Structure 1
Amino acid sequence: MASGVTVVTHPLVQHKLAYLRDKDTPTVHFRKLANELTLLLTYEATKDFPTEDAE
């Protein structure tokens, strides 16, 4: 049975998460990091989606 949890071990994601979790991260940086992480995690979440060739 799958747990439904995916651990992303990419160093860039881990670096951004660490900075995001830091209580001293300024709000403006927090928002920027959250946006960047959303993009990176979208790639991770969709990497196994089936694809089709296009003409």
Structure 2
Amino acid sequence: MQPDGTALATLGGQGYALTPRLALQPAPADRAGQAMWTQVEDSLLLLSVRLGDGWVQVLEVR
């Protein structure tokens, strides 16, 4: 874990940096029942993780 909250991970031999966005987002209705999902925004891969209280933590994947 880095001071800015970035986590470094290796999956299948590939290294990734997961940097959390500072503000939590409300869980979108069209993702009901999904614990996590990915999307692309401005050429950036985002991993969204649903929290138990109806909020979502978005992580930038690099």
User: Normalized against structure 1, the TM-score is what?
Assistant: 0.24
The structure having more radius of gyration, on CA atoms, is 1
**Larger proportion of helix:** 1
